[in-house]
């Protein structure tokens, strides 16, 4: 045992001093249709920390990935290597062109030239000697991983699902949707995601409804979250999440979609240095889902109101106003719903107030499976008549609240006191067209003949005749 640990110590010291070498090896130029072809990435004297995805090759199909490591001691010098092997199977006979490609191994790019691979007729598999393992295999083979390893498939306890927070909504009412991979905490199968970005792009093309407004939660990091399903503990990995707001009564349909995962087979008899797992693939499918969309209850504004659970936050610098002087007023709508669909209050001026178009600002928060936010309308108004006024007579906003299934109105509760002289007459003067137009009624509208200007015509015609004569003289003289 002491000798073994000394050997390990010597092994680690030698690795530090050795130089790292990276090599990418392509399989043979000729194989049979029932034989495998491989691409092998090998790192000498260092760990294989990271590497890019193996290329997709037209005419080949990926069949699985495996790893292996070796250690050699020659004249007291220790060298090691770690390899990852991608296995390809030909899809038919013929010649397959493997294009050149670049792989990043341990954060360093490695260029690999392409080649042609000839796929021949299937070969008859040689019969294995049933006594080979009995006579040739030794206990050292089990310890160091020599010989042929048998891999077994472990049943996974996991599933892919599209979930929705509601099965029935009104037009404009939001419902949260997630595409998640659930893994039981009792699961023993080893799995990992495979080319998730490419697969997710194809999945979203199928599941995104075209009749909804989308608020995407933009998941960047996939972190596990503990959840309970039917009394069992699962880890939920959210792949995609959004809140949808239907724009009409057409039902929302999410079709069944599949996600291909890497699933590892494990060695039946694990060894210390040998290959203890083998890469394989499995596709998980969701169940189709349907969301019913209902019409809003009857109301004169049902085709234009926003839908959500909203509150009003109003602000004014001072309730004491003066005629002729502008004042600022903030009408802030906040709550849960489609914040982008909130429209401004319908405010009209009269002889007491003049209102200008508001400045609009909105803030949207997407968290905790909800979409909340604020939409602010900043108004400037000019009082024209002194007196006490309820701003609720001017500022009100109607919406439908799906939580209580009723229409509601956000109305200002502020009362302002306006002092000063009346500015109503000034407004009339401002719209007066002026004294110039007052003279129209006294102006003479009799039609008159324009005075004769024949002398100007005679002078112009005479000038033309002189120019023509001069031109003729010059031409004849030449």
Question: CATH no. for residue 333?
Answer: 2.60.40
269 & 318 share domain? no
Range of the domain at 375: 306-430
345 & 290 share domain? no
170 & 67 share domain? no
Report pLDDT for 332. 96
The answer to the question of residue 447 being in a domain is: no
Report pLDDT for 476. 75
Report pLDDT for 337. 95
311 & 274 share domain? no
Report pLDDT for 136. 37
Q: Which residue numbers in the chain have pLDDT < 70?
A: 1-20, 67-80, 124-149, 270-275, 424-456, 478
The answer to the question of residue 327 being in a domain is: yes
Q: For residue 210, give both structure tokens.
A: 């075209």
52 & 180 share domain? no
Last residue of a domain, one of 234, 261, 294: 294
106 & 189 share domain? no
241 & 285 share domain? yes
The answer to the question of residue 152 being in a domain is: no
Helix, strand, coil percentages, rounded to 5, for the chain: 20, 45, 35
Percent of the chain scored above 90 by pLDDT?
A: 48
Last residue of a domain, one of 269, 294, 319: 294
Structural contact between residues 337 and 349, judged by C-beta atoms closer than 8 angstroms: no
The answer to the question of residue 139 being in a domain is: no
261 & 312 share domain? no
> pLDDT (tens digit, 9 = 90+) per residue, 391-425?
999 999 999 999 999 999 999 999 999 998 887 66
Report pLDDT for 346. 87
The answer to the question of residue 301 being in a domain is: no
The answer to the question of residue 153 being in a domain is: no
Buried b / exposed e over 154-184, threshold 16 CB at 10 Å, is: eebebbbbbbbeeeebbbbbbbbbbbbbbbb
Last residue of a domain, one of 229, 259, 294: 294
289 & 312 share domain? no
Angstrom distance (rounded) from CA 296 to CA 294: 7
57 & 30 share domain? yes
Alpha-carbon distance values, 143 to 55, 269, 360, 448 (Å): 34, 10, 72, 123
Report pLDDT for 203. 94
Q: Which residues contact 3 (CB under 8 A, 6 or more apart)?
A: none
Q: For residue 370, give both structure tokens.
A: 């909800």
CA angle 89, 142, 134 (to 5 degrees): 85
Buried b / exposed e over 311-350, threshold 16 CB at 10 Å, is: ebebebeeeebbbeeebebbbbbbbbbbbebbeebebeee
10 & 116 share domain? yes
Residue that is written with structure tokens 């006024």 in the block: 389
Report pLDDT for 444. 61
Report pLDDT for 69. 61
Tell me the average pLDDT of the chain: 81
The answer to the question of residue 351 being in a domain is: yes
Report pLDDT for 145. 47
Domain count for the chain = 3
207 & 246 share domain? yes
Give the residue from 395, 379, 384, 388 showing the smallest Cα distance to 353: 384
Beta-bridge partner residues of 226: 235
Give the residue from 162, 351, 192 showing the smallest Cα distance to 277: 192
| Torsion sign across C-alpha atoms 221, 224, 227, 231 | positive
Q: Judge residue 6's burial from the number of C-beta atoms within 10 Å of its C-beta, 0-12 exposed, 13-18 middle, 19 or more buried.
A: exposed
Report pLDDT for 13. 34
Structural contact between residues 51 and 94, judged by C-beta atoms closer than 8 angstroms: no
The answer to the question of residue 182 being in a domain is: yes
Q: Strand pairing of 415-419 and 320-322?
A: parallel
CA angle 45, 49, 50 (to 5 degrees): 130
């Amino acid at each position: 045992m002491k000798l073994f640990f000394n050997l390990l110590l010597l092994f680690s010291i030698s690795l530090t001093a050795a130089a790292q070498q990276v090599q990418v090896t392509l399989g043979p130029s000729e194989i049979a249709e029932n034989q495998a072809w491989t691409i092998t990435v090998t790192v000498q004297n260092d760990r294989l920390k990271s590497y890019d995805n193996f290329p997709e090759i037209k005419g080949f199909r990926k069949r699985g990935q495996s790893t292996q490591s070796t250690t050699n001691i020659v004249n007291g010098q220790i060298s090691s290597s770690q390899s990852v092997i991608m296995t390809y199977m030909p899809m038919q006979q013929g010649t397959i062109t493997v294009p050149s490609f670049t792989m990043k191994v341990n954060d360093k790019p490695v260029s690999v030239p392409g080649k042609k691979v000839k796929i021949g007729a299937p070969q008859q598999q040689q019969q294995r000697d049933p006594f080979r393992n009995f006579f040739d295999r030794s206990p050292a083979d089990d310890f160091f991983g020599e010989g042929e390893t048998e891999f077994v498939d472990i049943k996974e306890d996991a599933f892919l699902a599209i979930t929705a927070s509601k099965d029935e909504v009104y037009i404009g009412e939001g419902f949260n949707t997630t595409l998640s991979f659930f893994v039981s905490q009792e699961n023993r199968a080893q799995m990992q995601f495979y080319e998730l970005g490419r697969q997710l792009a194809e999945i979203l093309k199928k599941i995104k409804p075209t009749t909804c407004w989308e608020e995407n939660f933009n998941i960047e990091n996939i972190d596990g979250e503990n959840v309970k399903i039917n009394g069992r503990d699962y880890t939920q990995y959210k792949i995609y999440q959004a809140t949808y707001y239907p724009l009409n009564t057409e039902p929302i349909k999410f079709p069944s979609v599949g996600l291909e995962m890497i699933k590892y087979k494990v060695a039946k008899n694990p060894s210390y240095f040998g290959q203890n797992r083998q890469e394989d693939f499995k596709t998980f499918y969701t169940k189709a889902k349907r969301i019913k969309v209902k019409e809003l209850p009857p109301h004169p504004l049902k085709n234009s109101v926003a839908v959500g659970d909203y509150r009003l936050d109003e602000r004014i610098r001072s309730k004491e106003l003066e005629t002729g002087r502008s004042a600022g007023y903030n009408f802030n709508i906040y709550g849960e719903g489609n914040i982008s669909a909130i429209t401004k209050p319908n405010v009209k001026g009269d002889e007491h107030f003049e209102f200008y178009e508001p400045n609009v600002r909105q803030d949207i928060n997407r968290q905790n499976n909800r979409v909340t936010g604020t939409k602010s309308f900043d108004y400037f108004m000019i009082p024209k008549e002194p007196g006490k006024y309820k701003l609720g007579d001017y500022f009100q906003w109607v919406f439908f609240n799906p939580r209580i299934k009723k229409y509601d109105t956000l109305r200002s509760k502020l009362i302002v006191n306006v002092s000063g002289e009346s500015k109503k007459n000034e407004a009339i003067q401002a719209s007066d067209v002026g004294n110039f137009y007052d003279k129209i009624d006294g102006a003479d509208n009799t039609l008159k003949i324009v005075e004769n200007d024949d002398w100007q015509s005679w002078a112009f015609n005479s000038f033309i005749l002189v120019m023509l004569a001069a031109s003729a003289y010059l031409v004849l003289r030449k």
